[in-house]
Amino acid sequence: MNVDIAGLSVVVTGGSGFIGTHLVEALAGRGAVVTNLDRVPPKLVKHAEYWRVCDLLDRDSVLAELRAARPRVVFNLAALTDISQGPEALMVNTGGLLNVIDAIRGVDNGCLLIHTSTQLVMRPGHEPKHPLDFAPYSDYGASKAESELILHEHGMDLDWVTVRPTNVWGPWHPTFAKQIWRYIDRGLYMHPNGRDPRRSYGYVANVVFQLLRVVEAERSEVTHQTFYVGDEPIASSVWLDSFSLSLRGKPVRRVPSGLLKAAAFAGEISGRFGGPSPINYGRLYRMTTDYAVPMEPTFAILGHGPVSLGEGVKATVEWIRSTAPETQTR
């Protein structure tokens, strides 16, 4: 390791988001000089001192903020991550990155750019022949695939690393507390009998650990490389049952696959008319499809995160129980 994070000037775009909140907290705890560029205020009041209002699609604003911060590291986390959004709404994922690249050139101090993509650039079952052999799942995945191409086409003169988060979970997750964890807590979540796909998950503190290891690593080991970040792939039932046992003292319900298909059909109809849709065809596909990504290169260079599944579930359930009424499961 050749970089001391203490005293290092670090910019985090999207530091008010889910992973960004945890990353800003970890960087500040390590003594870094942190700047959070985000359109929205931070989730934690104590992070207000790091926040600068900035839209990555405003090129002049991005350039001004990076000139002021003179970062040695930029974590580009800012993105619209809703997989239901269409291409036009996802411009920040591509145009925003171009502005960050130009701003880093304007600073010109050997800055390391750590760009956040997603595992969704490769759909389940796709076996790429090379890192840029994309087969994206959703328009969001396609926008992130395009962002990776932008790095290769416009940023080869810079030091950059691409990270692809897996299915990241933990406190402050923007949707799970109102969806999957709520359904589990109320005994409404149904897992198909005889189908137990292997999936890649990542507890958020372990993902942040790996992000910081990118900064600490020898640049020759990581520059222009792509790493998935997360934990060892596991059977989805292991993750689901861990939450169900902690929330309600019993595993998730197992039901015949045919019943889930019928529920997904009903959810599709309900959703089209603005009604509740706890399961639809998209969710059914994600529930029943293997989606494990290769983590061995990551573990070899960035290591495993220090938090076990059980410890992560405990911390997350404690957060669920302590959050505001609109995000509580009960």
Shared domain for 196 and 117, answered yes or no, is no
Give the confidence band of 325 by pLDDT, cuts at 50, 70, 90: very low
Q: What is the mean pLDDT of residues 77-83?
A: 76
**Mean pLDDT on 257-273:** 80
d(C-alpha 229, C-alpha 201), whole Å: 9
179 and 328 in a common domain:
yes
Residue 74 lies in a domain: yes
Q: 176 in a domain, yes or no?
A: yes
| Alpha carbon distance 69, 64 (integer Å) | 9
State which amino acid sits at residue 53.
Answer: V
Verify that 172 and 142 share a domain, yes or no: no
In a domain, 221, yes or no: no
- Confirm whether 217 is domain-assigned: no
Bridge partners of 168, per DSSP, are: 202
Overall domain count for the chain: 2
From 107, 118, 115, select the one nearest 151 (Cα to Cα): 115
Asked if residue 203 has pLDDT above 70, the reply is yes
Query: Do 139 and 251 sit in the same domain of this protein?
Result: no
Q: Do the domain assignments include residue 188? A: yes
Residue 123 in any domain: the answer is: yes
Above 90 in pLDDT, residue 100? yes
Range of lowest pLDDT (111-120, 140-149, 202-211, 264-273)? 264-273
pLDDT bin (cut points 50, 70, 90) of residue 271 is confident
- Whether 256 and 272 share a structural domain: yes
Question: Lowest-pLDDT range, 108-122, 161-175, 278-292, 311-325?
Answer: 278-292
- Tell me: do 149 and 189 sit in the same domain: no
Over range 34-62, report the average pLDDT. Answer: 97
pLDDT of 86 strictly over 90: no
What mean pLDDT is predicted for residues 308-328?
A: 84
Check whether residue 173 and residue 190 sit in a common domain: yes
Q: Are residue 84 and residue 150 in the same domain, yes or no?
A: yes
pLDDT value of residue 327:
44
Domain boundary residue, one of 165, 182, 211: 165
Asked if residue 198 and residue 142 are part of one domain, the reply reads no
CATH code of the domain containing 43? 3.40.50.720
Amino acid at 95: G
Is the pLDDT assigned to residue 250 strictly greater than 70?
yes
Q: Is residue 195 part of a domain?
A: yes
Please state, in angstroms and rounded to a whole number, the distance separating the CA atoms of residues 74 and 46: 21
* Domain end marker among 165, 187, 219: 165
Q: For tokens 């969704």, what's the residue?
A: 120
pLDDT of residue 288: 80
Q: Alpha carbon of 319 to those of 28, 30, 265, 314, 315: distances in Å?
A: 21, 23, 33, 9, 6
Identify whether residues 21 and 99 lie together within a single domain.
yes
Shared-domain flag, residues 127 and 272: no
* 121: nearest Cα among 261, 291, 237, 7: 291
| Residue numbers of the domain that contains 272 | 167-202+231-292+306-330
Same domain, 144 and 195: no
Please enumerate in sequence order all residues whose Cβ is within 8 A of that of 95, keeping only pairs 6 or more positions apart, or say none.
56, 57
- pLDDT of residue 57 exceeding 50, the answer is yes
For residues 329 and 186, is the Cβ–Cβ distance under 8 A? yes
SS3 annotation, the chain: CCCCCCCCEEEEECCCCHHHHHHHHHHHHCCCEEEEEECCCCCCHHHHHHEEECCCCCHHHHHHHHHHHCCCEEEECCCCCCCCCCHHHHHHHCHHHHHHHHHHHHHCCCCEEEEECCHHHECCCCCCCCCCCCECCHHHHHHHHHHHHHHHHHCCCCEEEEEEECEEECCCCCCHHHCHHHHHHCCCCEEECCCCCEECEEEHHHHHHHHHHHHHCCHHHHCCCEEEECCCCEEHHHHHHHHHHHHHCCCCEEECHHHHHHHHHHHHHHHHCCCCCCCCHHHHHHHHCCECCCCHHHHHHCCCCCCCHHHHHHHHHHHHHHCCHHHCCC
Residue 90 in this model has a pLDDT that exceeds 50: yes
Domain assignment of residue 128, yes or no: yes
